[in-house]
């Protein structure tokens, strides 16, 4: 029997779905939200409100060019260390609201007897109201792979495969 028990009421939500339209595509998403008062015996106490959203689409109908796309968004709200009282769970460096977003798309074009071409794009974006700063990055990549199919001993001096990759990353920081 305990006297003067401290009671906290927290809430957590989660929803996830994965679907397939046979021969065409696979797609799905996940949503998760946890408030700062939600605690379990095994979870870390972070004293933060957190919301995560993820979606994806894998388009497979075009067998010579499958397309994959994904996106995510997370939002973390950390209360002021002054407002949390004696709790040592919040640092003044973590206070405020941080929103992060990311996304990516890629494909591989694979047509018989032609070079295989890979293309991709991804981005990340992070915004913090406490730091009054926004970070953004874009990444572009491509690849080319071609098998010559030469198997004669007379042409051993020629390469049997030619490949190359390219990647460009742009980073922007706004204050």
Question: Hey, what are 166's tokens?
Answer: 């390219």
DSSP 19: E
pTM here is: 0.80
DSSP E strands, 5-131: 12-21, 25-34, 49-59, 67-78, 96-109, 116-128
For 61-111, how does the pLDDT look when each residue is reduced to its tens digit (9 = 90+)? 999 999 999 999 999 998 876 666 555 566 666 678 899 999 999 999 999
């Amino acid at each position: 029997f305990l006297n003067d028990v401290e009671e906290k009421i927290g809430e957590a939500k989660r929803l996830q779905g994965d679907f397939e339209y046979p021969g065409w595509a696979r797609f799905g998403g996940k949503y998760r939200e946890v408030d700062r008062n939600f605690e379990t015996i095994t979870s870390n106490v972070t004293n933060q409100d957190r919301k995560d959203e993820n979606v994806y689409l894998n388009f497979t109908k075009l067998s010579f060019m499958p397309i994959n796309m994904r996106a995510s968004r997370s939002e973390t709200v950390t209360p002021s260390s002054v407002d949390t009282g004696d709790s040592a769970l919040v640092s003044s460096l973590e206070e405020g609201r941080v929103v992060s977003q990311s996304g990516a798309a890629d494909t591989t074009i694979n047509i018989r007897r032609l070079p295989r071409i890979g293309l991709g794009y991804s981005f990340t974006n992070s915004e913090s109201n406490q730091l009054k700063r926004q970070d953004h990055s874009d990444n572009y990549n491509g690849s080319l792979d071609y098998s010559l199919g030469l198997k004669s001993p007379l042409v051993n001096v020629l390469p049997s495969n030619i490949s190359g990759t390219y990647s460009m990353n742009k980073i922007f920081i706004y204050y």
